[in-house]
Amino acid sequence: MTKLEMLRAEWPHIGLKFLGVGHALPSAGAVPNTYMERLVDTSDEWIVSRTGIKERYFCAEQTNIELAQAAAEEAMSRAGIKPEQVGVCLVATFTPDRMSPSLACMLQERLGLPQDSVMFDLNAACAGFLYGLQTARQLLLTAEPTRPYALVLGSETPSRVMDFTDRNTCVLFGDAAAAAVVELSEEKPYLAICGSRTDNENMLYCSGLADQQQGRPGGVVHMQGQEVFRFAVDIIPHSIEQVLARANLQLADIDHVVCHQANNRIISHVVKKMHAAPEQFFINLQHYGNTSSASIPLALNDMWEQGLLKPGQRIICVGFGAGFTWGACLLTW
Ligand code: UT7
């Protein structure tokens, strides 16, 4: 066996240990559906029955980096690690404050992270946190031994790219950041899949520079909801089954399933399709709406705060988003 073949053979046995999770919400407070009724032709009844969302948060003066910093500080403090021990800092986001520099680089300065560690943002839309974990796991292998920890965030301010006259989108999303501190571990099995495919790039997108060049406004989310719904209820069970098959496990062996929190009805469809127990699937979207890449770490944070996560439990996280992108992981708490 070559060294490369040996490394590849060993790699699946290198897991991820979660040392701490943290979160941050806009300080302006929760925005109930009744407020959205004042902006567009909608109703609390429609939003709750079609999505399950009751409230969400929007930043007033706050920026994405402020949310990211607060979430990272909480996760690092709970993990009991110091900034100089961070070897990798990745922020999943599609709503950075600036196109450049990245939120990760801005965090480096604000948190005092080492200057010669790896820091960058990645954009895999709502699947971004899972892409981030998988990327961090690979980068940690080559991190300096004195910096064995990765800080991985999902940090989003979708309110900055919402058309608040479009009832099809503006009632769905909310701002939030959430973070996790992880390290490589042979005791905490971890496996992940990530994928992407583009059938139609206009199904779900946030306009940008090319749009502006062609006279359309940049920075606005557009979505064909039903198409995305159909994709979601197909890819989530498929991804969960793929992860279970690789781990040689059944769904009954899993303690919690954490889906990207976009719509209650998507999760109910998945539960039904997989003949699963509804209580296995954690849901907190009623409080936050769809927070894109922040939704999965925000769910892990809430579960941890509620005392639902016990050492050794198996958790499947599964996300999907614009691209389309998707990802799923089996992690061990
Ligand atoms: O993280 C990104 C991933 N995104 C998603 O996962 C979103 C996936 N899609 C969905 O969650 C659902 O498709 C939506 C919640 C976006 C929409 O629900 P739906 O049941 O698929 O509604 P629809 O698009 O089929 O629209 C049904 C009706 C339409 O009216 P007409 O044409 O039947 O008269 C819409 O105009 O509901 C109307 N509608 C609304 N009515 C009141 C759409 N949005 C609203 C609204 N309030 N906010």
Q: How far is the CA of 300 from the centre of ligand 1 (A)?
A: 27
What the block records as the tokens of 196 is 């992407």
Spatial CA neighbour of 258 closest among 301, 306, 287 = 301
What's the whole-number mean pLDDT along residues 16-43? Answer: 98
Residue 331 banded pLDDT, cuts 50, 70, 90: very high
Task: Give the residue-averaged pLDDT of 165-176.
Answer: 98
Pull the structure tokens for residue 41.
Answer: 């032709």
Protein residue closest via CA to atom 16 of ligand 1: 225
Read off the pLDDT of residues 109-147 as tens digits, 9 standing for 90 and up: 999 999 999 999 999 999 999 999 999 999 999 999 999
Closest Cα to atom 35 of ligand 1: 168
Most ligand 1 atoms within 8 A of CB, residue of 50, 227, 291 to mutate: 50
Nearest ligand 1 atom to alpha carbon 265:
11
Give the burial string for 221-257 (b: 16+ CB within 10 Å, else e).
Answer: bbbebeebbebbbebbbebbeebbeebeeebeebebb
Q: Burial level of 207, CB count in 10 A (0-12/13-18/19+)?
A: middle
CA of 168 to the centre of ligand 1 (A): 6
**Residues forming the active site:** 126, 260, 290
Give me the domains of the chain, ranges plus CATH numbers: 3-187 (3.40.47.10), 191-332 (3.40.47.10)
Ligand 1 atom 2: residue of nearest CA:
321
Backbone φ, ψ for residue 190 (5° rounding):
-150, 130
Strands 314-321 and 15-24: unpaired
Ligand 1 geometric centre to CA of 272 (Å): 21
Ligand 1 centroid to 225 CA: how many Å?
6
CA distances from 143 to 47, 116, 120, 247, 284 (A): 46, 10, 15, 27, 34
86-95 residue pLDDT tens = 999 999 999 9
The tens digit of pLDDT for each residue in 58-108 reads 999 999 999 999 999 999 999 999 999 999 999 999 999 999 999 999 999
Cβ contacts of residue 46 below 8 Å, gap of 6+? none
> Which segments within the chain are labelled E, that is strand?
15-24, 30-32, 55-57, 86-92, 118-122, 149-156, 176-185, 191-196, 204-206, 221-223, 256-259, 281-282, 314-321, 325-332
Ligand 1 atom nearest to 290, measured from its CA: 1
What is the 3-class SS of 217-262, one letter each residue? CCCCEEECHHHHHHHHHHHHHHHHHHHHHHHCCCHHHCCEEEECCC
Q: Please give all residues whose beta carbon lies within 6 A of any atom in ligand 1, as ranges.
A: 42, 46-47, 50-51, 126, 167-168, 171, 225-226, 228-229, 232, 262-263, 266, 290, 292, 321
Q: What 3-state DSSP class applies to 183?
A: strand
The tens digit of pLDDT for each residue in 198-248 reads 988 899 999 999 999 999 999 999 999 999 999 999 999 999 999 999 999
Q: Looking at residue 199, what is its pLDDT?
A: 84
Distance 226 CA to ligand 1 centre (A): 7
Ligand 1 nearest-atom number relative to CA 232:
6
Q: What is the pTM of this model?
A: 0.97
Peptide bond into 324 cis (omega under 30): yes
Q: Report the atom number in ligand 1 closest to the C-alpha of 171.
A: 48
pLDDT digits (tens, 9 = 90+) for 250-280: 999 999 999 999 999 999 999 999 999 999 9
For residue 260, is it left (φ>0), alpha (ψ between -120 and 50) or beta? Answer: beta
Ligand 1 atom closest to 262 (CA): 6
Strands 256-259 and 281-282 come out as parallel
Look-up of token digits 């979207």: 285
- Closest residue CA from atom 48 of ligand 1: 167
pLDDT at 87: 98
- Residue 294 CA to ligand 1 center (angstroms) comes to 22
